[in-house]
Amino acid sequence: MVDLLSLQKHFILQHLKEGDVAVDFTMGNGNDTLFLSRTVGEKGKVFAFDIQESALASTKARLQEEGAPENYTLICASHHRVKEFVNEPIKAGMFNLGYLPGSNKKQVTTMRETTLPAVKAAVELLSMDGVLMIAVYPGHEEGKKEGEMLFEYFKDFDRRHICVSCFRIVNSPTSPFFYLVEKR
């Protein structure tokens, strides 16, 4: 079976190199932050966002335990505020919509009201040959609506400038899926 996480990283690595700037728009427990930090290396930069202090604490601990380069800035703010903190083009951005993995606060999820402005800002910040990876979790109502909202937003993009692909398991409608956004 297809491993969606490996596939996401494969696509990111086609664009993101050492010295680049990347954003983890939903840091959670820091898995994507760690991946981005290692990929851009000592000369790169990673900005990571989450609204929960517990996410920042677990991410910071994970990065330190794993010996990640000190190229990251952890920000306790909603991802839709990205332009307040990031003032340069980004080569890659990752979103894992939904709730904090392992948390008992499943009512605290990403919301359409902030997700769409965050994705729009990410597209605006994306440099040429940049990539965004947006994982959607339709197993809960808000996740399903976020996925539908993003489809409506992306469907009219001119593919000659920004190509948007969707990767999902067709015979498992509540399984996570992702959008791949590539700027040419």
At which residue do the structure tokens 């709730």 appear?
99
What whole-number distance in Å separates Cα of residue 20 and Cα of residue 103? 31
Say which DSSP state 75 is in.
E
Each of the 184 residues of the chain gets a pLDDT tens digit; together they read 778 888 999 999 999 999 999 999 999 989 999 999 999 999 999 999 999 898 999 999 999 999 999 999 999 999 999 999 999 999 999 999 876 555 555 566 777 788 999 999 999 999 999 999 999 988 888 888 999 999 999 999 999 999 999 999 889 888 889 999 999 8
d(CA 39, CA 33): 10
Sheet containing strand 21-24, strands side by side: 72-76, 45-50, 21-24, 90-96, 126-136, 177-183, 162-167
CATH 3.40.50.150 fits 4-183, yes or no: yes
Q: Where are the domains of the chain?
A: 4-183
Which phi and psi angles does 73 have, rounded to 5°?
Answer: -125, 120
Model pTM score: 0.93
pLDDT at 60: 97
In this prediction, residue 56 carries a pLDDT of 96
| Beta-carbon-side half-sphere exposure of residue 54 (alpha carbons within 13 Å) | 8
Q: Which residues, 6 or more positions from 142, have their beta carbon under 8 angstroms from its beta carbon?
A: 109, 110, 111, 112
Q: Answer whether 112's CB lies under 8 Å from 146's CB.
A: yes
2, burial (CB in 10 Å: exposed 0-12, middle 13-18, buried 19+)? exposed
User: What is the pLDDT at residue 97?
Assistant: 87
Question: In b/e form, how buried is each residue of 152-177, taking b as 16+ CB within 10 angstroms?
Answer: ebbeeeeeeebebeebbeeeeeeebb
